[in-house]
Structure formats: C-alpha cells, structure tokens
Structure 1
C-alpha cells in the first residue's frame, strides 16, 4: 500500500499545474488545501513519508532538494520496490507556495466519469487515449471504497457474475460505504498487467473501458509483465 500511496501522491500532484508539491500544503488562512479536494480525500496518502524523507535530506543538504523532487523520486522507487518499472528522474523542480482546492475539484477525474470524459480530461493535459490507458496501469495496486463500485457490482451486466458475487459479500446495497476492496484481486501488491487482464475478463470493479463497446483493450502477454505491450484500439 505504501508503494501505491507514493504513486497516487505523485500523479495527483502533477495533474493540476505540473508536479509542484502543492498537494502537500496544509490549510491556512490564505490556502485552501488540495488534500481535502474530492479526488484526494481518502485517496492520496503517504504525506508523512514525504515529510520524513524531506527531514532526512535537509540534514545532508539543507535548502537544496525540493519536496517536488522527493515526490518524483519516491514514486519511481515505489514502483521499482513492487517489481514495476524503474526509470531516470530529472531533478530541479521547484515547490509551489500556493494550492487550489477549487482547481483540484474541477480537474481531478472522478471515479464515476465515463470513457469520453476521461479521454477529454487527459487530452487537456496533452495526453492521448493510449497514454491514459497506460497510466491507468497504476491501478494494479490500491483499493477502492464500496460506495465507488456499488453501482457496478449490483446494476451492471458487463461484469463476471462470480466476481460480482464475491464483491457483494463485503459491499452491501446499503451501508459499508468505506469498506475497501483491492482494484486487482489477483496480485494486489505487485505492479503487473493483471489490472488489464481483469478488464478484459470483466473481473474489475472500476472499469472505464466497459462503458464504451467501441473500445477494445488487448494485451500482448508474450513478455514479462513489465515488458508486455498494451494496445488500445479506438476505431
């Protein structure tokens, strides 16, 4: 879960005005903290880990390394820790001195948004539909609250019946809103392609691709999970 928290904090930090660590700023008389935005509450976590890392870095080189760079490096290291990809991280980012809960509420995608709306959100950031699907691989880790997938397991038909039945045991029609379920039932603590495989086999509680019949997700699974190729076909 720590790895997922690092990735989520990084993603939610950069989606607004670039990665500037504005998500770390607490509420003050002049700042409306982004931590309490709808898309961040009970989703973005791990703030204490970033604070601890910053404290240790300050002991070695005070006033040099930004919170923003620490978030970026932590996300990379978190991915590698759970057998996900590792990559070079360019450093030198500056921290924001202000935050905008209003902007966060307006621009962070909601779990209930449909495919077309999600594609539009990412296009506004210069990202393609393929980029969006590739980035959604981060959902191979993490958990969702019952209220975010209740509609899917009780009222949607494009879901495996056995999978839906399993999820209903812990998520009733009424109540238990905060009960958690892993986004990837098979390997919830590993960074792999099972999230996409679950989409294809209708074993997914958060499934944007199922909302549009014209969307086809397929995987080339000839390689290792880290090297498998994701293909998004939008005819």
Structure 2
C-alpha cells in the first residue's frame, strides 16, 4: 500500500514485457489482486463487529446483518473451491478460485464470497463453459452456483443438514455492474442456474450485492472511533489507498 501511495509501484522488466521470461515476483499495481491483498489484510486486523455488518448491509442495501460477535470468523483470500459437480451441470467445470471467502460459525453459520474487480469487468465466459448449454457463463453466475452448492442450497439428500447462509458481493472500482442487478432478481438467477429444480429455496433475500471502492472506504471509516490508535492508522491509509484506486485509469497518448 505504502509503495503505491508513494508512487513506487513496481513494474516488470523489459525481458518480461517482451515475453522472454515469466516473472512471478512482481504483481502489477494495475492488478485487482493488489487491492484484494491490501483490503483484506487491513480487515483481518480489525474487530469484525465494527465492519462485517456495515460492509455487507451496505452492499446488499438492507439491514440484513445485526451488530454482534462473529465467532470463528476467517478471511481467506484467493480460496480455491471444489469443482461444481458434473451431475449438476451439463459441462465439466474446473475449480473456482474466489477472490476472498469470509466465514463465521456463530450465531448463524455463514459464508460470504467476494468477487474483486479493478479496471477489468466481470468475465463473460469462464473456463470449460461458454454458455452454449443455455446457462449463464459469467464469473458472477459461476460464483453463485458454486456458493449455493457449497453452502447446501442444492437439495442432494445429504446425510446431515449442513446448510449455511450465503452472500455474494462484488467490490469494484465503482458500482453499476448490470449483472448484479440481474441476479438480484431470484427468478432470473434461478433461470441461469443448472438444475434449479433442486434449489427449493434460496438464502434470505437479498444475498447478492455490490460496493465501489469509495463505498468500502466510507463504511470502514464510519466506525473509526471504535478502534485503537494502530487500527486507526491502518484505516486512514486504506481510505487514502482506495480513493487513489478508485480514480479512472489514465490512458497513454501517442
């Protein structure tokens, strides 16, 4: 974060730019992974009581989560999920890497998938699925079906009822992703999911939403006085960082 704020963001060498070598050591400042790491690195240091409900409620547009203790909370960036089962979809699908998975166990077992975007938009197609089977093939739909399956919303006659509450949010440079609006409609979402007849009900609505970087900064800073001095320093730097990242990308002329 400080590296970028100080204008010292790294770049790949000429040999990497020319395709002569592959350099795994430097992540470009234009990568959404940089924002993911910085954001959730700070959130891990903060008491979830003062940001989890605020962040999720702001994304969903409703007061769905109360202010409470979130016991057993874990934050897992770049978390690989098992492949969506072949018997539930008419195509072979590989593993899904969710940009960040947030879970807690009490009072209600809950899983939150976070899809992060920076300058790129949501992918219209994912690996091994191009939409030819009549079902949505974009990243958001993929995260929705994998999350619903993983959280037990597909009725597969499991031995134990291990259903978890599920939330899916998109965090991007700015709000306004059309797919979010589309999938907030439960009928349209189910129509784009394979074997939707096996989903007798969905998680409590709404369970899908979005935030812009400035929204995230405002939400986290709104409870700044609840934290100690060290945490306030992190919050202030994150607020400045997200403001910088929210600016439009400059295009080179000539």
The TM-score with structure 1 as length reference comes to 0.31
Higher normalized helix content (fraction of residues):
1
Q: What TM-score does the superposition give when structure 2 sets the normalisation length?
A: 0.29
Pair member with larger Rg: 2
